[in-house]
Structure 1
Amino acid sequence: MNIIIIEDELKTAQSLQKAILDFKPDASIIGQYQSIESVVEAFEGGISPDLIFMDIQLADGLCFEIFKQVNITSPVVFCTAFDEYSLDAFKNNGVDYILKPFSKDDIQKALKKVDELQNFFQQKNTPDWESLLSKLSPPAASGGKTSFLIFQQQKYKTVNVKDIAFFYIKHNASWIMCFDKQEYPITQSLDQITSAVSAQQFYRINRQFLVNFKAIKEVEPYFLRKLYVRLVIETPEKLLVNKEKANSFLSWMENR
């Protein structure tokens, strides 16, 4: 089995390689890459691994950009410190999702899963990874995500969605604002967050704000048929819903 490792932390890549070869000594590590650019160049150059171990946050961005630039058909085991990308991972050839810091046992279980899945499809004479991925992809939870992992002051912590008043854009980055007025940076875009949370509980007021229903205090008509939304806590700017979205927003409030 030919395997490549996509990981921008050298020590982690070395540990990963050792864990793989300890469990599967006949495997060949045919490449290690640290950036989106280097991976794209490798695939454009014809590299064709049987399996990929891939970190999500690389030196030059999120690994999902790779799938937009080159066609990857190999199964992927994602290894990451963040739990919020699981849906994106399974949409991009993911067959397992391992959280850092990973153990040797985690890697062995992932390799065993890959072997079992490949054996199953060989027995069925249908080694169809697209079909496989459709079986592995977790169903979208009707309630959406229940928490987000954030990194602040050199520490990881989880923030429960029920404690979040709104998500917003500040200085071209996404932030969480909680009901207790604590705020935290978050790596996902507002588009990604909108897709992950419950559409019944959160509404994208405009390009800058995604608001929890429980945070809404009152809504009033505003100039040019817009709506002015007041929250139970102060916001950095006025929350305005444009006239094109006004009916949709009011319907969302009424039909929850």
Structure 2
Amino acid sequence: MNILIIEDEIKAARSLENLILKLRPETKIIAKIQSVEAAIDYLSNSLSPDIIFMDIQLSDGISFDIFKSVKIVCPVIFCTAFGEYAMDAIKENGIDYLLKPFSETDLKNAFEKVDNFKNFFQKTSENNLIQLIQKISGEETTKKSFLVFKNNKYLTVKTADIAYIYINYTSPTIVTFKGEHFDVNQSLDQLAAQLSDKDFFRLNRQYLISFSAVKEVEHYFARKLYIKLTVPTDEKLLIGKEKTTIFLNWLEDR
């Protein structure tokens, strides 16, 4: 289990890390972050952790601002000394709310709550909690832009500018309507979870396409569909007969 700690007090973060490793020695603390800005940067460019322990008042603001910039699809356990934020925390993927100073028993109960949550909503597909958390947080919170790194520069790519995303060898690449290519450090499943189902469609394991990029759809052999985009792709985009109805309904449901 990979855990991310977002806490601006170094001693508090270290104490929480020691307590977590005491209760769950098999876990890995993948990072300890102290600010809203650093958290946004990390979550925009790294694989999603399994759990986030998040303080609410950070060095540069309130941690709820993180949710405005990145879509978090894992359970969050909020840790704070201020009880007035409880309801807001629950709205933001909050699985539990630990009021400082909390005990080992409090943390143990929080872990048990996460375990029960995962077991109850277990699915056979990957990212088994994504759909549930999307319902909790609402589709209106879908990502508006992605932070990418190219030529030693950080750039922002607006979601509206994305024609499609595809797997280039082992990692996804964003392709814009201008034909620009940007590699990203998230899986295609994670990217799909952050985008609106109305605006983007998962054709197959390799391609995620934008509705605005669809130019033509033709019948193909074996009752498949051949999708042509306004931005050329390296290979033919085909949909098997088992997904043709779903895809055509997606095109029609505007």
SS at match of 2:154: strand
In the aligned structure 2, how far is the partner of 1:188 from the partner of 1:62? 5
Q: Which residue of 1 aligns with 2:61?
A: none
1:20 and 2:9 correspond: yes
- In structure 2, which of residues 40, 54, 76 is the aligned counterpart of residue 76 of structure 1? 54
The equivalent residue for 2:221 is: 223
Please tell me the residue identity of whatever aligns with 1:189.
S
1:43 to partner: Cα distance: 4.6
8 Å CA contact 1:147–1:158 kept in 2: the answer is yes
- Could you say what the CA RMSD is over the residues aligned between the two structures, in angstroms? 4.5
TM-score normalized with structure 1 length: 0.60
What is the distance in 2 between the residues matched to 1:119 and 1:155?
Answer: 40
What is the CA–CA distance in structure 1 between the aligned matches of 2:171 and 2:226, rounded to whole Å? 24
The structural deviation recorded for 1:193 is 1.3
Give the Cα separation in 2 of the matches to 1:248 and 1:191: 19
Deviations, residues 55-80 of structure 1 (Å, cap 9, x unaligned): 7969xx74625x5xxxxxx943499x
Mark the runs of 5 or more structure 2 residues left unpaired by the alignment: 34-38, 59-65, 87-97, 115-131
Which residue type is aligned with residue 9 of structure 2? I
Taking a change above 3 Å as real, the CA distance of residues 208 and 63 of structure 1, as seen in their structure-2 partners, is: closer
Q: Name the CA shift for 1:208/1:114 in 2 (closer, same or farther; >3 Å).
A: farther
1:29 to 3, 9, 14: 14
Tell me if the contact between 1:53 and 1:77 (Cα under 8 Å) persists in the aligned partners. no
Structure 1 94/148 Cα, relative in aligned 2: closer, same or farther at 3 Å?
farther
Find the partner of 1:206 among 201, 204, 207: 204
Task: Give the alignment's TM-score, normalised by structure 2.
Answer: 0.60
Larger radius of gyration: 1
* Alignment match, 2:180: 182
Distance in 2, Cα, partners of 1:244 & 1:230:
19
> Which letter does structure 1 place at the counterpart of 2:234?
P
* C-alpha contact 1:148 1:159 (8 A) present in aligned 2: yes
By how many angstroms is 1:140 displaced? 2.2
Q: Is 1:93–2:76 an aligned residue pair?
A: yes
Mapped to 2, the partners of 1:63 and 1:252 lie a distance apart of: 28
Question: Secondary structure at 2:137's aligned position in 1?
Answer: coil
Q: Give the equivalent residue in structure 2 for 1:173.
A: 171
Residue 231 of structure 2 is matched in structure 1 by 233
Once the two structures are TM-superposed, the CA of residue 207 in structure 1 deviates from its matched residue by 1.2
What is the CA–CA distance in structure 2 between the aligned matches of 1:28 and 1:164, rounded to whole Å? 38
Percent identity over the alignment is 30
**Count of residue pairs the alignment pairs up:** 197
How far is 1:145 from its partner? 1.4
Structure 2 CA distance for partners of 1:198 and 1:184, relative to 1, 3 Å:
same
Name the CA shift for 1:220/1:92 in 2 (closer, same or farther; >3 Å). same
Query: What is the rounded CA distance, in whole Å, between the counterparts of 2:13 and 2:184 in structure 1?
Result: 36
Q: How does 1:120-135 map to 2 (within 5 A)?
A: none
Q: Secondary structure at the match of 2:72?
A: helix
For the residues of structure 2 that align with 1:167 and 1:192, how far apart are their CA atoms? Answer: 12
Letter in 2 for 1:186: V
Q: Does 1:140 align with 2:118?
A: no
